[in-house]
């Protein structure tokens, strides 16, 4: 039963030494590409702020993205799900073209005003770089699985500047209800090194701040649990809306290139209907001082009561009709905005509830409560770690078994 050998520590040393050597080039390249990506993203959002008319080209951008994937993409369209499938059952591998394709198309999505995130892109960059080196070093299928997992960790750790959460996320996201400690340390090394590399290129991550000091209070605990339920349901609603829009588009709209056109037009229409650009692009920077952004959600009055729902709709339309980008930053936005609304409704500290929503909607939609608890610690500090765990675990229970990644397997059912 126990694979115990004498001097097994010597094998550990060889094992870790080998993996350190393998992980270094992956992390350096992935971290650098993520830095380039974040820089381009920042540029594209600022450029759109200065050129309003870019939004009208969103449908055209959609057609171009569709064409790029149709004629150059091979199987890269499957994105994160392809990487997860390759880890579960190694097949044809992740194509090297995935990294440049997703980088260019995500920047296009943001430049023309689509509402999307970053993590999907970063994870795909990491996975594609990892696969490239796996081919170069002629690794065995078993090692390719590990190397792809380190690629996810590298991408995630670098894009959010949260290396511990990145390493745990890579292991936790693969199977619902289970963490297997395959490559625990190689994942952490990849994520730390990619994060350091990304910062070395001058990338700064947005700092979020929960000023409310921890106090154990029965009423606050009840509010936290209740909002955990709401955050979980919001994660569920997001995943379902994305799936529904994707299926509806495929079913009702022909030819296929018209799907992103319809998506683009919907986004333009909604923007003018609401009279605000706050729900376009990433949502981390605002065009105006009073714009609703993720940081503004941490302040009283920083979001409207329905901001969370609008961001959910804008993002589900953008991603469901074929634009590119991640889901996670919009999930942060949805969560922080919903937290802001709930704080006002139930009389709880706004910054605390926004921070809890930020991590919990994400925990629910991706079924990664432990990575998200650790992310809370890395972003907001240790003070309220008990509430992070409570809200993430609760959201995990209430987000259903679907989640945003259909290649995530169900290891342990939630009830």
Decide: is 49 part of the binding site for its own copies (CB under 8 A).
Answer: no
Distance between terminal CA atoms of the chain? Answer: 30
Write b or e for each residue in 57-75: b if 16 or more Cβ atoms lie within 10 A of its Cβ, otherwise e. bbbebbbbbbebbeeebee
Which stretch in 92-100, 185-193, 258-266, 316-324 sits in contact with its own copies by CB under 8 A?
Answer: 185-193
Binder of its own copies out of 393, 404, 405, 407 (CB under 8 A)? 393
Please identify which residue in 146, 148, 188, 234 interacts with its own copies, judged by CB under 8 A: 188
Question: Which of 112, 236, 333, 362 touches its own copies by CB under 8 A?
Answer: 236
SS3 68: helix
Q: Which is nearer to its own copies, 49 or 397 (CB)?
A: 397
- Reduced to 3 states, what is the DSSP secondary structure of residue 349? coil
Burial of residue 202 (number of CB atoms within 10 Å: 0-12, 13-18, 19+): exposed
Residue from 390, 404, 405, 407 binding its own copies (CB under 8 A): 390
Q: Round to whole Å and give the CA distance between 328 and 308.
A: 14
Exactly one of 204, 255, 289, 413 binds its own copies (CB under 8 A); that residue is 413
Task: Please state the closest distance from residue 306 (CB atom) to its own copies, in A.
Answer: 22
Q: Are strands 175-176 and 409-410 parallel, antiparallel or unpaired?
A: parallel
213 vs 224: CA distance, rounded Å: 15
Choices 32-40, 63-71, 257-265, 374-382; region in contact with its own copies by CB under 8 A = 374-382
Phi, then psi, of 401 in degrees rounded to 5: -100, 5
CA distance 186 to 15: 10
CB nearer its own copies, residue 61 or residue 392: 392
97 contributes a contact to its own copies by CB under 8 A = no
- Assess 226 for contact with its own copies (CB under 8 A): no
Instruction: Find the shortest distance in angstroms from Cβ 295 to its own copies.
Output: 19
Q: What is the C-alpha R_g of the chain?
A: 21
Q: Which of 54, 179, 258, 309 binds its own copies (CB under 8 A)?
A: 179
- Enclosing H/E stretch for 137: none
Chain residues that interact with its own copies, rule: CB under 8 A: 1-4, 8-9, 11-12, 15-16, 163-164, 167-168, 177-182, 184-185, 188, 192, 196, 216, 233, 236, 369-370, 373-374, 377-378, 380-383, 385-386, 389-390, 393-394, 396-398, 400-402, 409-415
């Amino acid at each position: 039963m126990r694979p115990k050998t004498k001097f097994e520590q010597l094998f550990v040393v060889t094992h870790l030494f080998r993996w350190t050597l393998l992980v270094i080039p992956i992390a350096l390249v992935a971290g650098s590409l993520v830095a380039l990506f974040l820089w381009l993203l920042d540029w594209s959002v600022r450029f759109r702020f200065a050129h309003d008319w870019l939004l009208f080209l969103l449908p055209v951008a959609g057609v171009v993205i569709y064409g790029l994937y149709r004629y150059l993409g091979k199987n890269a369209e499957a994105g994160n799900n392809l990487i997860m499938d390759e880890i579960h059952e190694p097949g044809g591998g992740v194509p090297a073209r995935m990294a440049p394709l997703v980088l260019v198309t995500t920047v296009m999505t943001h430049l023309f005003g689509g509402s999307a995130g970053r993590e999907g892109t970063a994870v795909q960059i990491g996975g594609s770089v990892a696969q490239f080196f796996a081919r170069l070093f002629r690794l065995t299928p078993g090692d390719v699985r590990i190397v792809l997992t380190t690629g996810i960790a590298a991408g995630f750790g670098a894009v959010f500047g949260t290396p511990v959460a990145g390493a745990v996320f890579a292991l936790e996201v693969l199977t619902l209800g289970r963490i297997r400690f395959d490559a625990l340390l190689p994942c952490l090394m990849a994520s730390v090194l990619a994060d350091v590399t990304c910062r070395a290129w001058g990338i700064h991550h947005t700092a979020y701040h929960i000023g409310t000091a921890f106090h154990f209070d029965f009423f606050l605990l009840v509010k936290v649990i209740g909002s955990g339920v709401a955050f979980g349901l919001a994660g569920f609603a997001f995943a379902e809306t994305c799936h529904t829009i994707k299926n509806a588009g495929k079913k009702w709209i022909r030819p296929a290139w018209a799907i992103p056109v319809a998506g683009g037009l919907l986004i333009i229409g909604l923007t003018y209907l609401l009279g605000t650009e706050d729900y376009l692009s990433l949502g981390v920077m605002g065009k105006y001082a009073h714009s609703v952004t993720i940081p503004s959600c941490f302040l009283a009055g920083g979001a409207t009561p329905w901001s969370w729902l609008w961001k959910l709709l804008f993002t589900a339309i953008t991603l469901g009709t074929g634009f590119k980008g991640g889901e996670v930053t919009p999930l942060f936005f949805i969560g922080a905005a919903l937290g802001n609304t709930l704080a006002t409704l139930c009389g709880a500290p706004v910054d605390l509830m926004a921070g809890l929503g930020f991590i919990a909607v994400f925990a629910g939609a991706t079924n990664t409560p432990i990575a998200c608890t650790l992310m809370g610690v890395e972003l907001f500090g240790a003070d309220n770690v008990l509430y992070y765990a409570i809200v993430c675990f609760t959201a995990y229970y209430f987000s259903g078994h679907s989640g945003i990644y259909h290649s995530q397997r169900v290891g342990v059912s939630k009830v």
